[in-house]
Amino acid sequence: MKISGNPELSKAHKKIRSLVGSAVSDYNMIVEGDLIMVCLSGGADSYTMLDMLLGLQQAAPIHFDIIAVNLDQKQPGFPAKVLPDYLEAAGVDYRIIEEDTYSVVQSIIPIGKTTCSLCSRLRRGILYNTAEGLGVTKIALGHHADDMVETLFLNMFYNGRMKSMPAKLISDDRRNIVIRPMAYVRESAIKAYAEMRQFPIIPCNFCGSQPNLQRQNVKAMLQQWDKENPGRVQNIFNALTRVTPSHLLDRDLFDFTGLSLNHADDIEELDYMIDAVEQII
């Protein structure tokens, strides 16, 4: 479907494109000569991310290349032709990686237990190896603002840690730089855009269909909050970008033991400046 000539689609595209552009710029995600591996799952998030990065590729003052990669995990009934057909029609360079992680997970995880953790680790390892083999400089994942807020609460509720998903990081194996260009975009905007664009969505029947996942419970909680108090989830996301270490309890982030009256004026002035900037924003 063409974007031009459709005012509603054009407006949605412009809004998401602007947010993606801001995230890419704020975190210096893409530089001259990058080869970006766009991880394409067949979901609305990754389709939209690819769409936006292709647009940025054409408009950006720097040159970077894109290669789309899909991991075919050999799930029963997986429509293997959907993504190749879509990518070929769009003229996008791509690779389909075939690895039977489905059988591995099913053989290890008892029936009825959550498969997400093991599936995620296997998938991540395969994608990291693929990136190294292709010589890519960045791995782009389609996580959005809601994913980041959900992850924050999951870590707080179940791990006792204030931690979310960064917009840019070095992978655990220290071999790759991972970027999340959709970091500023809300899930609702992505779903609406994907529907208007009529992307050939492939539902996840591996772990996404499990009803009692902790993430699904947190998602439901946040959706209820957003319904009862519009803007609350966005404010929580905004808080992730405006942290005041001196008003938390992490001794690794702030020198509480060395705090003295001679230091107090500097801290008060810094907090005043932070509050002033927040008022302007």
In this structure, what CATH number is given to the domain that contains residue 222?
3.40.50.620
Residue 51 lies in a domain: yes
Cβ(73)–Cβ(206) below 8 Å: yes
Whether 275 maps to a domain, the answer reads: yes
pLDDT score at 212: 52
24/68 same-domain check? yes
Residues contacting residue 164 through CB under 8 Å, at least 6 positions apart: 148, 149, 151, 152, 155, 240
Residues 121 and 257 in one domain: no
Q: What average pLDDT is seen over the chain?
A: 88
191-250 confidence digits (pLDDT tens): 999 999 999 999 865 554 555 578 889 999 999 999 999 999 999 999 999 999 999 999
Number of domains into which the chain is organized? 2
Question: Do both 99 and 194 map to the same domain?
Answer: yes
248 and 222 share a domain?
A: no
Residues 94 and 201 occupy one common structural domain: yes
User: Are 59 and 84 part of one and the same domain?
Assistant: yes
Q: Is 113 within the bounds of a domain?
A: yes
Note down the domain range covering 68. 7-228
pLDDT at 279: 56
pLDDT at position 157 over 80: yes
Residue type, 104: V
Domain presence at residue 235: no
Q: 269 exposed, middle or buried (CB, 10 Å; 0-12, 13-18, 19+)?
A: exposed
Handedness of CA 74, 197, 84, 63 (dihedral sign): negative
Q: What are the angstrom distances between the C-alpha of 63 and each of 32, 37, 52, 54?
A: 5, 15, 15, 12
In this structure, is residue 2 part of a structural domain? no
Judge if 146 and 94 occupy the same domain: yes
Q: Are residues 219 and 250 in the same domain?
A: no
pLDDT in tens, 11-66: 999 999 999 999 999 999 999 999 999 999 999 999 999 999 999 999 999 999 99
Q: What pLDDT, on the 0 to 100 scale, is given for residue 114?
A: 59
